[in-house]
Amino acid sequence: MTDISLKEAQEQVDKWIKKYGVRYFSELTNMAILTEEVGELARVMARTYGDQSFKKSDEKVKLADEMADVLWVLLCLANQTGVDLTTAFHENMEKKTQRDSNRHWNNEKLKL
């Protein structure tokens, strides 16, 4: 396995959809699917790191696979809506840096 960029991931998803998926689901359907996938990720997190115990049906579920499912649908939505996630990520990091560069250091709740 080799590392890939967000751009390459978006391209791979697009090629897969066109080859195997017939077409993208509608944006609204994919938003609902994203919500469902985030819920599945939350379930694994709650059982792995929280206070809930695993059910028999949860035992084979993998955290990494659930995260990848979330990423997959997010990549689909980005492709469908014309969002370049590489650019969006860089712009978002800059926004967070400008807005929060001192905020968290001054948060008493985060002090060790």
Q: Which two tokens stand for residue 39?
A: 């819920």
CATH architecture type of domain 6-84: Orthogonal Bundle (1.10)
**Residue 24 DSSP code:** P
Per-residue pLDDT, averaged over 68-90, amounts to: 98
pTM value?
A: 0.90
Q: Where are the domains of the chain?
A: 6-84
Residue 40: predicted pLDDT? 96
Dmax (CA) for the chain in angstroms is 52
Residue 76 has pLDDT above 90, yes or no: yes
Output the pLDDT for position 31: 98
pLDDT digits (tens, 9 = 90+) for 27-45: 999 999 999 999 999 999 9
pLDDT in tens, 47-59: 999 999 988 888 7
Q: Cα separation of 106 and 56, whole Å?
A: 44
82 in the Ramachandran plot: left (φ > 0), alpha (ψ -120 to 50) or beta? left
